[in-house]
Chain A
């Protein structure tokens, strides 16, 4: 009898989830489904709004930037979502004994902060990050989201060229002393699983604490905790999907994101057509325009480009930064810190300047069904996803656009 047949079925189930990484496409599909649930109970997945909420709360401690009043993190769905992505990933890393405090060489921490700063500027100018403006924006049938994606592509390619140049000319910037603490020893480290159980129980108790007065928050906590855990297990990352075809030529990350977008596209379209969660004609229109931001076309293009630059330098998009924080990557802690600190500053000082410069025709809500109908908008987005799939698979086979 083989060893696996002798194992307790529950241990086998645990090993299935935490023994090895999940294929990215599995993570993408499950994340797409959870995103539909978030939309059904309130609004889709996003990260930069929650990160800005953290920054606003930080500055308000010093009496800064709180003229309009700041919502407490504990009362802000997306502020809590950001925290729960980190905690969910923390639990996932602990269950798989992958957690460690990983301190990189100094140059990498500087790049983490720089990348996070650019992501903060990109997300505030572009009204959304790689999740809100892209992973949720595209299936929300937003024309601006498609422009944001084009900006991301160009930003990633420019930034990847910079990284290749830096590695050639200044290899010392990504070398040097590094430290690793609290890592599990090979075939040991069950203490990580025990702490993982404690973290999971804490997440459930936190959710329960909201269940009487704020059921939406209660479910946001559960779903975003799961999103963090699934992102960590499948290593789901938007930057990987855009970058790898042009770096190593691999398509796995892109296929995972395409799978998640396709699933969300179906669910979001159904929610919008049937007005699920809407009450009355006015809120039906509001439901249709959910996650269709007033950034078409210039704000989306500029924001996407700057965000693409930043996420490639940091080595993690918005969610990629958060779940890597959960598994103890200190480079991404610097990236997350920069996003928290810079987002409110950009909102206060840079965004008003951009808004003043751009005419209304360069920053409006473009809802694709208004121009193409639901059939045409759905077909257009699906066609773009299929074209992207075909490109990354063709490029993987031929290596036509990959650097290595």
Chain B
């Protein structure tokens, strides 16, 4: 399935990446996916935990050059 939305959270620290992801997910329909680029180490733990709690599916986490992490979430 194609990505519906891309969020740039590079440079942001807690809680802004999680706030932006949670807000953006409200606009997605079930089954649609969002990718997020971030640099805060905390988000690597916070986002999978949030997905577990909310029932959304944490699809992928990839470390890229420059300390950037790409994460993909699918709305339940």
Residues of A near any B CB (own CB < 8 A) = 20-21, 93, 96, 98, 100, 102-105, 108, 163-164, 167-168, 174-175, 177-180, 183-186, 235, 237, 240, 243-244, 247-250, 252, 315-316, 324, 327, 329, 331-332, 396, 403-404
The answer to whether A327 touches B41 (Cβ under 8 A) is yes
Q: How far, in whole Å, are A360 and B49 apart by their CA atoms in the complex?
A: 47
Return chain A residues, CB-CB under 8 Å to B65. 185-186
Given contacts A96-B41, A248-B22, A404-B26, 15 further A-B contacts (CB under 8 A): A102-B40, A102-B67, A104-B11, A104-B12, A108-B12, A108-B16, A164-B19, A168-B23, A174-B16, A177-B11, A180-B66, A183-B68, A235-B14, A249-B53, A329-B13
Closest 4 CB pairs of A and B: A178-B11, A183-B67, A404-B22, A186-B63
17 contacts between A and B (CB under 8 A): A20-B45, A102-B67, A104-B13, A108-B13, A174-B16, A183-B39, A186-B63, A186-B64, A240-B14, A243-B15, A249-B53, A252-B49, A315-B13, A327-B41, A332-B13, A404-B19, A404-B25
Report how far A215 CA is from B36 CA in the complex, Å: 49
Q: Which residue of A lies closest to B64 (CB)?
A: A186
A105 to B13 alpha-carbon distance, docked (Å):
11
CB of A335, distance to nearest CB on chain B (Å): 10
CA distance A157 to B19 in the complex (A): 15
Are A248 and B13 in touch, CB under 8 angstroms? no
Interface residue B28 (Cβ < 8 Å from any Cβ of A):
no
Contact A315 B14 (CB under 8 A): yes
Which residues of the partner chain A approach B14 to less than 8 Å between Cβ atoms? Answer: 235, 237, 240, 315-316
Closest residue of chain B to A183 (Cβ to Cβ) is B67
Q: State in angstroms the CA–CA spacing of A93 and B40 once bound together.
A: 12
Q: Which residues of chain A are within 8 angstroms of B58 by Cβ–Cβ distance? A: none
- A272 CA to B18 CA in the complex, in Å? 41
A163 to B53, CA, bound (A): 22
Instruction: Give bound CA distance, A167 to B16, whole Å.
Output: 9
CB of A315 within 8 A of CB of B16, answer: yes
Chain B residues with CB under 8 Å of chain A are 8, 10-16, 18-20, 22-23, 25-26, 39-42, 44-46, 49-50, 53-54, 63-68
Taken together as a complex, chains A and B put the C-alpha atoms of A354 and B4 apart, in Å, by 53
CB distance from B3 to the nearest CB of A (A): 19
Query: Chain B nearest CB: distance from A165 CB in Å?
Result: 12
Assess the B39–A180 pair: CB atoms within 8 A: yes
Q: From residue A166, how far is it (CB to closest CB) to chain B in Å? A: 10
**B42: chain A residues within 8 A (beta carbon):** 21, 235
Q: How many Å lie between the Cα of A337 and that of B65 in the bound state?
A: 30
Q: Do B49 and A102 touch across chains, with their CB atoms under 8 A apart?
A: no
CA distance A329 to B50 in the complex (A): 23
Kindly list chain A residues whose C-beta atoms are within 8 Å of the C-beta of B49: 250, 252
Measured between C-beta atoms, what is the minimum distance from A113 to chain B in Å?
14
Min C-beta distance of A21 to chain B, whole Å = 5
Find the A residue at minimum CB distance from B11: A178
Contact check, A184 vs B67: say whether CB atoms are below 8 A apart.
Answer: yes
Residues in A neighbouring B23, C-beta threshold 8 A: 167-168, 404
**Least CB separation from B17: chain A residue:** A174
Q: Roughly how many angstroms separate A185 CA and B65 CA in the complex, as a whole number?
A: 5
> What's the Cα separation between A186 and B40 when bound, in Å?
15
Indicate if the CB atoms of B39 and A178 lie closer than 8 Å: yes
List, in ascending order, chain B residues with CB within 8 A of A168's CB. 23
A105 touches B67 (CB 8 A): no
State whether B39 touches A102 (Cβ < 8 A): yes
Residue on B with the closest CB to A328? Answer: B67
Contact B11 A108 (CB under 8 A): yes
Task: Given the known inter-chain contacts A105-B11, A178-B11, A179-B11, please indicate yes or no for A167 contacting B45, CB distance below 8 A.
Answer: no
Bound: A108/B10 CA distance, A: 12
**Minimum CB–CB distance for A249 against chain B, Å:** 7
Q: Report the separation of the CA atoms of residues A102 and B40 in the bound assembly, to the nearest whole angstrom.
A: 8
Chain B: CB-nearest residue to A187: B63
Q: Which of B8, B18, B26, B53 has the most CB of A within 10 A?
A: B53
Cross-chain contact B15 with A175 (CB below 8 angstroms) = no
Complex: chain A residue closest to B21, CB-CB: A404
Tell me, rounded to whole Å, the shortest Cβ–Cβ distance linking A275 to chain B: 41
Which residues in A have their C-beta under 8 angstroms from that of B18? Answer: 247-248
